[in-house]
Structure formats: structure tokens, C-alpha cells
Amino acid sequence: SNFFSVGRIQISLMSIPRRKLIEIFGTHWHSPEKTGLSRKEHELERIMHFKKFSFDTLILWENELKDEDKLVEKLQEFHNKQFEHI
């Protein structure tokens, strides 16, 4: 499998040495209808879950993958960001 698990939640991409992970949310499976939460609430829930394991998390929605320039900018910003402790 190409997925990793952190606290029983599967994630898309992970850098263990940098303690960073990236979640790619599809608009169907991560929709408010499926999760019972708004998109922002669902993102925050995931970010806080992984923070308990000392991972900094970037959430990308599938529609964000279409704008390559914006995606590269977002990934570079996340890569350079320092981890924020709770």
C-alpha cells in the first residue's frame, strides 16, 4: 500500500525526518455530507489529530491539484514552515 497510518488514520504522503505529512482530500469522501463536519472543521480535526503525534499537516483538496503554480507555492511554503507546538 502507498498509504501510511498515524493513530489509525491513513494518510497520503509523509516525511518522517521532517515530521510533516500531506493529506489529499477528495471532494466526495471528505465532503460535509460524508464527515458531518464543515470542510474547515474536518481539516482542523485532522490537523489536531496528527499534531498529537508531532506531525505538521498540510491538507490539499483534489481541486487544488489542478493549479500547478499555486500547488508548488503551497508545497514550498509548507516545506519551509516550522512546526507549531500545541
CA–CA distance, 40 with 85 (Å, rounded to integer): 20
Mean per-residue pLDDT, 1-12: 68
Predicted TM-score of the model (pTM):
0.81
Domains of the chain, by residue range, sit at: 4-80
- Tally of CA atoms within 13 A in the half-sphere of 77 that contains its CB: 8
Q: What is the DSSP string of 19-33?
A: TEEEEEE-TTTTSHH
**What does the pLDDT look like over 46-82, one tens digit per residue?**
999 999 999 999 999 999 999 999 999 999 999 898 7
Q: What is the pLDDT of residue 1?
A: 45
Q: What is the pLDDT of residue 56?
A: 93
Q: Using CA of residue 28, residue 34, residue 40, residue 46, what is the dihedral sign? A: negative
Strands (E), 1-86: 4-6, 9-11, 13-15, 20-25, 56-61
